[in-house]
């Protein structure tokens, strides 16, 4: 299983790790489409 990782910096956000729930794998949405949906991600401080 591939686990894509992308590093980014947003000075308006605190340091955090954003994860997609495993259930998004069942979705037909691409990672690029999910990237534009902040509500789809779970933030870990």
Please tell me the distance from the alpha carbon of residue 23 to that of residue 16, in angstroms, as a whole number.
21
Q: What is the pLDDT of residue 2?
A: 72
Residues 6+ apart with CB under 8 A from 42: 18, 19, 20, 21
Q: What is the pLDDT of residue 1?
A: 61
Q: Strand, coil or helix: what is 18?
A: strand
The model's pTM is 0.72
Q: What is the pLDDT of residue 21?
A: 92
pLDDT per position as a tens digit, 14-42: 999 999 999 988 989 998 999 999 999 99
């Amino acid at each position: 299983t591939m686990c894509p990782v992308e590093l980014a910096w947003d000075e308006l956000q605190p340091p955090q790790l954003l994860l997609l729930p495993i259930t998004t794998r069942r979705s037909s949405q691409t990672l690029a489409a999910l990237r534009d949906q902040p509500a789809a991600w779970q933030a870990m401080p």
